[in-house]
Structures are given as C-alpha cells and as structure tokens.
A and B are shown apart, each in its own frame.
Chain A
C-alpha cells in the first residue's frame, strides 16, 4: 500500500494541486476564505446564542469554536469527499489509477483548511484568556484520528454515492441532525446522565468533547474517551477501505 502510494506520488501531488486551483478560482479573496468562513459562522452563532438565547458561560466563544472547528472540518471533508470519486469518473474509466487517490487529494485540501482554522482557533484561545498547558499537546490525538475518521467516512460515502445518487440529499439532512446532536452551542450537563452518555454515540461529539476537555477544562481526557476517539476512526476507515477493496472494479459500471 505504501509502496503503491509512493509510486503514485506524482499523480497525487498533481491532483491536490488541481483541486486547490479549481477551488479558489475566481474568488477575490482566495485562500482567505478558509479563515473568514469559520470566523463568520462563529460570529453569527455567538451573536444568536448570547444575545437571543442568553447563553452566559465562561469561555463561551472558545466552547463554540471547538464545536465549529471539528464539525466544519467533518462536514466539509465528508460532503466534498462524497463526490470525489464520481467527479473524477472521466479519469478512472480511461486510466488505471488507484481510485482512493481522488478522495485523498480532496481530503488534503480540507486538512489544509482545518489547519488554518486551527491556528485561528489558538489565537482566539489567547484572546479568551485560556491558559495554555502541556496538555495541549494531546490535541494531536483527536486531530490525527479525526482525519482518519473523515477519510473513512469519505471512502464510504464516495462509494455509496457512485451507486446511489440519493446519498447526497440524505447526507445533507443527516449532517444537519448531527450538528444539532453535537452540542456545538449548548451544554449537555442539564440532561440526565443516561442521555449524556448517549451523546457519545455521535462520533463528532466525541471529538468535540476531547477538544473542549483539553482546551477549556485543562484536563487529560479519560481512557474511555481515548478509546472512542480511536475506535470510531479505525472502524470508519476499515469499513471504507473494505468497500473500496471489494467494489474496486464495479464502480466503473455505475458512472
């Protein structure tokens, strides 16, 4: 697998370059949108939930930003990843290239966006008087596994999308549901313990919680949370990889 990747490194670089160039083509602000977009979302949410819903919590901006950071990355990576295979069908029906390349190159793009947003996030933490501790190094865990998780979900979705175009509409609704279930702008502490635990069924919530525990609460998350963070990512990736392996030669018939 690694050897194969190396063999196709040039193709991979070119695909990433292509995705990048086509994405920011004809936008005035170009890459700056990667910074502006999450900030504007954050601003809207902050205004709505503090002014209209009277949410007054310590570090609420950071709390919101944690949620937005993770959820937006997840949303962008999966919904863009979904069409990665289909939109490159004109290539893989003509040339024999590994099909997961298209998804990975799309993911590189969203990872870069995520990285930029992450830097902005840390700046906001500073402004919000968050104390930086060595614990912050732990953030590498949810970041790495969130990437893996997103690639996994992307693999599953892009494969499904080839077979059923309906997936894109379903996924749109589903991500909205997921957003409301991810406790991005509210806290779960007012729910009974059983309901609170049910939130952990939502992978996005798990990654957000990890971020919040480290950044806002200054904690080292529990072993159980680590297990969830790793488990969801590995499971999603394994399923996605299996589908690609099984269906590798069938995609062709459905494009």
Chain B
C-alpha cells in the first residue's frame, strides 16, 4: 500500500523578536547597537509518521504542543523549515472553523465565499446549498448578517460546508466539539460517514474518548516533540491520561508498545483502490497542496531556460505580445514617414519663426506651441489681433483670432512684452499654416483674413524655420 501522507523529520520554526515585533525603527537601532537578536521557537521538532489510505489519526497533546502547526504544514499552508511533507490526495482542511467568515456579509454570501475557499465549484454549491443550510439548521437565518449569529451557529455552518466534500484527506482541528449535544451527535455521524468513504483523516482532539472511539492511529506531541506514534490507541491514550494527571512525561521505556497487531480494517482496502485511481489526477495539478510540497519533477521543469519558457507561454500571451510589438512598429513607422503634415516638432530649443521689427513682434515655436511676443510699447497704443489660418490637403480651412491684450489669450505678460501662447496641436493633420496680424477693426475681407502682415509655414519647407 502506498502512503497517503508521509511526514519525514518535520520541523517548523517560528521566529520571534525580529522586526515584525519591534518595528523598523527599533530594528535599525538594535542593528546599530549590535543588540539585535531573534528568538527561535520550534513549534514542531522531528515529527515523523506515515499514514495509509483509510487511516484515522488522532493527534493528542496539551496546548501549544504544535498540533495545529503540524496540520497547517500538511494542508500546505505552511512549508516545514526542515524535513518533508508528502501528501497524495485532495485535502479538505477544517482549521479553527468559525474564523475566516466575514461578519458583514449574510449567511448565504458567507456560505458561497467559504465554499469557494475550500475549492468547490459554483455549480456544486448551487446544488448543495439547501442541504448545507438544512444540515446547519440555519433555515430562516440565510439573509441575516453573519455577525448576528451565535458562535454555535457559526461553527455549525462552518462544519456543514466543510463536511460536504468528498475528500481523500480530511483534516479536523477540534471540530467535533462544536454546537450543542444534538448537533455534536449529528456531526460525529457525518464524520464516520466520511471516514467510511475511505478518507484518510487527521483529527486533533482534547477528548481522549473521541480519539479512542474514532481513531486507529495516534500521534502524541508535547512542546513540539514527538512523544509517540503508533497504532496502540488504547495503550497510548492511557499513558496520555496518566500524564495529564501527574504532569510527568513518560520515559522511553515507560511507554506502552507503540504498535500492536490488529485485524486490518475492512474499509482500508477499497480506500486504497480509490487512492490509486485518483493519484494521477493529483499529479496533473489538481491538488495544489500535494503538488507544491512534494513535486520534485515539477520543480525541475520550473527551471527551464528563458527561451523554453517563452515558447511554452500560453497562446494568448504570445499573441498579445506580438500585437503590441506590431503596434509599436506601426506607430514608429507612421511617425517617421507621414509627409507634409504639421506634427509635433521635436524642438527643445525655441525656434524663431519670424520677427516683425515695425510692430515689435517676435514669433517662436516650441513644443508644438507658437509663442508670440509683442512689445508693450507698440501694442498698448494700437492693440494687436493675431490670427492663425490653417488649411488641409482637401482645402478645408480653420481660422482663429487671438486678441493679445485680452486676459483670456495673453497667458503671460512680462514688464516689457505680452506673450501669447497658441497651441498648434489642434492643427495636426493640416498641411499649411498661415499666421500674422490682422486689423482689429475689420479682421476679415470677405471670407479671408485681411492680413496686415503674415508668414506661411508648411512642413518640409524649412526656409521660414530658423533656429533661434
């Protein structure tokens, strides 16, 4: 028979007193003073055991013995600091049941959320929702906020959701002690049903009575150390009860025999068949926990070269990357080749476009903006109406006028000049740009500007474009 779960020399270490406890400031201060120490704390030390399909393991030990930590390592939430955990099946873990619910959501919403966390499918939950609520005896409470439930009700719901699965490995942390007496009976019956279905089960319990009646193997932990592991459930439970009374750990030679011959359980054989049927599926990544902690081949394949990885990227990713590359090329080419259009001019220095000394006007081009500097002395007296006329290749014309004295257009003014900023971006696509001064009193002559003076700018015609 292949082992369903095997823990080899598992040790799990917590670190206390590092920066998570003392904060960043204190961390640096202590570092500087050479007073920085961390305290190690081994929650589990050299725990070794193996379970076969259909086994039911009872884990006993006083508080802080490392039971819950061990279960976390088996369920894949934690990675052992030393040693290996191997698990060949789909796991359903029921750790500290009532936590992990959202108090503000309703019972119904929480049911779906929890079921999603346990990895069920939506269809499955839709189907089983009624039986979950019925089993938890919460009919009529479905739309109540979760925080209004009593703690017993919360645990009942948690148990009902979790016990619905048909797992290969079931991890139970103190869950059989939830609810009132009637519900406890019901949950124990449900538990036996799951176990009878061939699941390998790990049960943490403080009740030796429960362990005696349910389990066929037993693991005794004390302060992280493995005191005993064996199938002599009755003998070891007796020893544990003696320890609870005397507070004195038994020596190696005082322990009862760890393994005694027992008639093989009838349920274990079909369970083994089932495990073998399912194990190929779990290798394909159906069971993330098992895959992560055990998978040597998976790790090897993860270290492929970059090129191989690119080649193995999903098609969608490759197509998207290609599309972006193509887009970039199109943009680059079109920007470089589109002729005769007024585009963003890549000039960091202002380019002097023209100077009209009579009017005291300078026109500069910078960052795709036209700057008109008008001498205050000249413009104060007469005013200035600046005009822009643009024409595209189809003969379409746009006109704009800017009164330099008006606050709306004269963006800046210095002590001796008004400065007008004209954004040329709106003229992208036009092929010809004419600008200059028009008469403020009668700017138009028919359809066209009546220019006092003007310059024409066309891209490609570099004559009028002098760098200042």
Question: Interface residues, chain A, CB within 8 Å of chain B?
Answer: 2-4, 7-8, 10-11, 13-15, 17-18, 21-22, 25, 56-58, 90-98, 131, 141, 163-166, 189, 193, 216-220, 222-223, 226, 230, 249, 252-254
Contacts and interface: CB of A to CB of B under 8 A. Distances in A.
Nearest to A11: B116
Nearest to B145: A25
Given A10-B121, A94-B100, 20 more contacts: A10-B120, A14-B113, A15-B116, A18-B109, A21-B105, A21-B109, A95-B117, A96-B76, A96-B91, A131-B426, A217-B425, A218-B425, A220-B334, A220-B335, A223-B335, A226-B331, A249-B78, A249-B79, A252-B72, A254-B20
Given A217-B423, A226-B331, A253-B14, A14 B116 contact: yes
Interface in B276-319: 285, 288-289, 314, 316
Interface string B354-389: 000000000000111100000000000000000000
Contacts of A18: 102, 105, 109, 113
Contacts, number: 120
A219 B344 contact: yes
B77 A92 contact: yes
Contacts of A249: 78-79
B209 interface: no
Contacts of A2: 314, 316
A100 to B, nearest CB: 13
B24 interface: yes
Contacts of B423: 58, 217
Nearest to B118: A95
* Shortest 9 CB-CB contacts between residues of A and residues of B: A217-B425, A11-B116, A14-B116, A249-B79, A96-B76, A193-B348, A14-B113, A254-B20, A95-B117
A198 B230 CA distance: 69
Chain B at the A interface: SS class: mixed
Given A58-B423, A249-B78, A14 B23 contact: no
Given A17-B109, A22-B102, A222-B335, A253 B15 contact: yes
Nearest to A254: B20
Contacts of B411: 56-57
A180 to B, nearest CB: 22
Nearest to B428: A218
Nearest to A97: B117
Contact of B77 (A14, A96, A166): A96
B95 interface: yes
A158 to B, nearest CB: 15
B407 A189 contact: no
Interface of B: 14-15, 19-20, 23-25, 72, 75-79, 91, 93, 95-96, 99-100, 102, 104-105, 109, 112-113, 116-122, 125, 285, 288-289, 314, 316, 324, 327-328, 331-332, 334-335, 343-344, 348, 366-369, 407-408, 411, 423, 425-426, 428
Contacts of A25: 104
A129 B6 CA distance: 71
A10 B79 CA distance: 26
A96 B428 contact: no
A94 B99 contact: yes
A93 B117 contact: no
Nearest to A217: B425
B223 to A, nearest CB: 19
A15 B100 contact: no
Given A18-B109, A96-B75, A166 B15 contact: no
B337 to A, nearest CB: 13
A15 to B, nearest CB: 7
Nearest to B348: A193
22 contacts: A2-B316, A10-B125, A11-B117, A14-B113, A15-B113, A17-B109, A17-B113, A18-B102, A18-B105, A21-B109, A91-B100, A95-B93, A96-B91, A96-B93, A164-B23, A189-B367, A217-B344, A217-B423, A219-B428, A230-B324, A249-B78, A252-B77
A47 to B, nearest CB: 18
Contact of B95 (A21, A94, A219): A94
A93 B93 CA distance: 11
Contacts of A166: 23-25
Contacts of A189: 366-367, 369
B105 A163 contact: no
A8 B369 CA distance: 52
Contacts of B91: 96
Given A92-B77, A223-B332, A223-B335, A56 B99 contact: no
Contacts of B19: 163-164
A4 B408 contact: no
Best-buried of A57, A166, A193, A220 by chain B (most CB within 10 Å)? A220
Residue among A2, A22, A217 with the highest chain B CB neighbour number at 10 A: A217
B109 A96 contact: no
B78 A13 contact: no
A18 B93 CA distance: 22
Contacts of A10: 116, 120-122, 125
Contacts of B332: 223
B105 A94 contact: no
Given A2-B314, A163-B19, A219-B425, A90 B77 contact: no
Nearest to B76: A96
A213 B381 CA distance: 38
B331 A223 contact: yes
A226 B327 CA distance: 10
Contacts of A220: 331, 334-335
B343 to A, nearest CB: 8
Contacts of A94: 77, 93, 95-96, 99-100
